[in-house]
């Protein structure tokens, strides 16, 4: 069993149905992780490492290599993010922005991913929103109301820790809404995401895919460490009884809402170091597709330089009233 509750065991690359090549370009990570309408979650190994070079290629432990590479990726992420922010600041007509949508089972690594990947970027250009159960006010509105209010401004990189997909996942599995309510939401989500793309958004939708066994291990880890008690919720154990239903709900959401303009990516997340490396790649790929560059000066740099160079040292004293 792949997840302790059913399915055929598959391993590594075979789970993805691709031919293993030692010369695989790590720049194709987005393509490797992108899934279509025929996705079968049970056939994807949560401990897999698609796109990661092997030990022979990097001549060291892939785990250590991926962690070191994340530092390099972080530097480029910061540069790309700065260009995105700068262009929107200089040109109000530039509506480009990136939105990372993170979904996962409990203990799937959403918080850890945000900490590791977003931590490499300038918080001034980030907008991070964690969605919990709807508040009384939010329940008075359409399910997308609170999502729209949290969208990042132009030039920003937004991160959703959980998202509008909760309304076709937990709402369905835990019967918080009848089928006649949650089923039409798939098309509403598709229309909403089409609207986002048309208005300048680059969505990066990611499911962090962990195994049933790995979730149990992480829950036990929280119970054995007093510094992690605050992360533990007894309801997480109750939800394990719904694992097959959640897997089906995720698969249906990915199949129904994986579109050309807003595709889904499934990231094997049992290995935290691979998860962080892969998500960093996905964000970086989205930024690079924007073909960003630093905006040109809206003034004459040479003239401004000469103005400052002409200032005499005594002018400082004059300004200070000396």
pLDDT in tens, 260-287: 999 999 999 999 999 999 999 999 999 9
Confidence of residue 10 (pLDDT cuts 50, 70, 90): very low
- Mean predicted confidence (pLDDT) in 49-78: 91
pLDDT in tens, 233-263: 999 999 999 999 999 999 999 999 999 999 9
Domain residue spans of the chain:
12-319
Cβ(224)–Cβ(157) below 8 Å: no
CA distance 233 to 228: 11
Cβ(83)–Cβ(293) below 8 Å: yes
Query: What residue has token string 């995105």?
Result: 84
**110 pLDDT above the threshold of 70:** yes
Please report, for residues 84, 156, 284, 298, the alpha-carbon distance to residue 89 in angstroms, rounded to integers and kept in the order given: 9, 10, 21, 12
Confidence of residue 58 (pLDDT cuts 50, 70, 90): confident
User: Is the model more confident about 13 or about 130?
Assistant: 130
So what's the pLDDT on residue 319?
Answer: 62
Cβ(44)–Cβ(17) below 8 Å: no
- Mean predicted confidence (pLDDT) in 299-304: 94
Helix (H) or strand (E) holding 128: strand 126-130
What CATH architecture applies to the domain 12-319?
3-Layer(aba) Sandwich (3.40)
Taking alpha carbons only, the member of 147, 148, 153, 177 closest to residue 165 is 147
Tell me the three-class secondary structure of 79-120, residue by residue. Answer: HHHHHHHHHHHHCCCCCCEEEEEEEECCCCCHHHHHHHHHCC
> Mean pLDDT across the chain, nearest whole number?
90
- Mean predicted confidence (pLDDT) in 133-147: 97
* Helix, strand, coil percent content, the chain, rounded in steps of 5: 55, 10, 35
Residues 6+ apart with CB under 8 A from 269: 46, 104, 108, 109, 208, 209, 210, 275
Taking alpha carbons only, the member of 296, 253, 231 closest to residue 101 is 253
Query: HSE of 163 in the Cβ direction (CA atoms, 13 Å)?
Result: 25
- Mean predicted confidence (pLDDT) in 192-198: 98
CA distance 255 to 276: 24
So what's the pLDDT on residue 320?
Answer: 65
Confidence of residue 8 (pLDDT cuts 50, 70, 90): very low
**289 pLDDT above the threshold of 70:** yes
CA distance 281 to 274: 11
- Mean predicted confidence (pLDDT) in 161-187: 98
**1 pLDDT above the threshold of 60:** no
- Percent of the chain whose predicted confidence (pLDDT) is above 70: 88
- Mean predicted confidence (pLDDT) in 128-150: 97
């Amino acid at each position: 069993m792949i997840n302790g509750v059913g399915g055929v065991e598959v391993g590594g690359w075979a789970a993805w149905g691709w031919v293993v090549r030692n010369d695989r370009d790590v720049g194709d990570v987005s393509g490797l992780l992108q899934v279509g309408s025929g996705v079968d979650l049970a056939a994807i190994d949560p401990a897999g490492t698609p796109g990661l070079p092997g030990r022979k290629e990097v001549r060291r432990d892939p785990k250590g290599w991926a962690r070191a590479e994340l530092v390099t990726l972080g530097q480029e992420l910061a540069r790309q993010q700065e260009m995105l922010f700068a262009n929107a600041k200089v040109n109000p007509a530039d509506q480009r922005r990136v939105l990372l949508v993170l979904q996962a089972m409990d203990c799937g690594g959403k918080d850890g991913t945000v900490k590791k990947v977003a931590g490499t970027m300038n918080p001034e250009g980030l907008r991070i929103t964690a969605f919990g159960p709807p508040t009384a006010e939010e329940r008075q509105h359409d399910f997308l109301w609170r999502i729209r209010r949290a969208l990042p401004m132009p030039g920003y990189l937004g991160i959703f820790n959980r998202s509008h997909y909760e309304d076709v996942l937990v709402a369905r599995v835990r019967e918080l809404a009848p089928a006649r309510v949650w089923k039409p939401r798939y098309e509403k989500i598709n229309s909403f995401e089409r609207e986002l793309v048309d208005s300048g958004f680059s969505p990066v939708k990611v499911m962090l895919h962990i195994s049933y066994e790995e979730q149990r291990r992480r829950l036990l880890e929280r119970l054995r460490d007093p510094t992690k008690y605050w992360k533990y919720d007894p309801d997480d154990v109750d939800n394990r009884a719904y694992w097959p239903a959640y897997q089906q709900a995720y698969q249906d959401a990915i199949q129904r809402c994986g579109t050309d303009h807003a595709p889904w990516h499934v990231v094997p997340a049992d290995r935290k170091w691979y998860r962080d490396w892969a998500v960093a790649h996905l964000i970086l790929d989205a930024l690079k597709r924007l073909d960003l560059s630093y905006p040109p000066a809206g003034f004459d740099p040479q003239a401004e330089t000469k103005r400052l160079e002409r200032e005499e040292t005594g002018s400082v004293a004059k300004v200070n009233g000396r």
